[in-house]
Amino acid sequence: MRFHSPQKLKTIADLIGSKFVGSEDFEVLGTNEIHMVKPGDIVFVNHPKYYDKALNSAATIILIDKEVDCPEGKALLVSDDPFRDFNKINTHFTRIYNFTEELHDVEIGEGTKVHRTAVIGNNVVIGKNTLIFPNVVIGDRTVIGDNVVIQSNTVLGGDAFYYRKLNGNFDRLISVGNVVIENNVEIGNGCTIDRGVTDSTVIGEGSVLDNQIQVGHDTVIGKKCLIASQVGIAGCCVIGDEVTLWGQVGIASGNKIESGSVILGKTGVNRDLEKGTYIGMFAEDFKTYLKKEVKLRNLK
């Protein structure tokens, strides 16, 4: 999430009541979670296991629960609860409506048809010649391109599935990102595409999604991908261009699939994949799988 205008380190420290390490005029441009950070971003970390990853990431401001040596060119915000304060910063700069107020400010392009039962949030942009079917829900800040088809009961921009355990309960990391649907995309019935925690969940130009597909927060799907029904993609994944995912494929969080790959039905993806065709619980190369099956069947 980028702030509407650059902020100063001291301003953010005062907002959350934290100590800071660095110049009080150190520039802060926004927030992001660890998978998506860019220079100028705040990233939070609240466990020593992940200190090095956060401190050495592209983020230049680290919201951390212990004062540590600050890398050159970076700054620290030292908080007793970085998760809580990350939420506080995000919701200060991005208001959460959750359909409780109909302020709208919706842009709809020429030739677009939106069914009267569709529900549209605030600050939504919909391009030209797009079709929105009955009972579609479009969350705040969603951006939809031209010539898009979104079929019935699909939800764009639901909350990310991102929690921590706190005092025996689940505490949500509040989602202030959005969903971006590029031009010429078709999305089937009953799909759910979560908005980014602090960035965008993106469906690339020309991609086609079947029915009942789940796309997690901050995932980026490339151009001209073909995704069959009941696929589940966790958060922060990167799917290249012209990738085919057949029915009931499951992809774990943070994994990348190279452009041109084919993932056959019921395959589980638990690591990054180079271009190829894969099958099986742990995404095995398809030709290797077939050779193994032949050998097993010939055993006596």
Residues belonging to the active site:
217
- Determine the Cα–Cα distance for residues 141 and 123; give it in Å rounded to an integer: 5
- Determine the Cα–Cα distance for residues 285 and 244; give it in Å rounded to an integer: 15
* Cβ neighbours of 152 (radius 10 Å): 16
- 244, 252 Cβ separation under 8 angstroms: no
Here the tokens at position 225 are 């991908």
Angle, in degrees to the nearest 10, between helices 9-16 and 82-93: 110
- Determine the Cα–Cα distance for residues 176 and 161; give it in Å rounded to an integer: 13
> Nearest to residue 63, comparing CAs of 91, 36, 43?
43
Here the tokens at position 185 are 């995309």
- Determine the Cα–Cα distance for residues 114 and 132; give it in Å rounded to an integer: 5
> Nearest to residue 92, comparing CAs of 1, 178, 179, 172?
1
Among positive and negative, which fits the CA dihedral 256, 202, 137, 188?
A: negative
Q: Which amino acid would we find at residue 252?
A: A
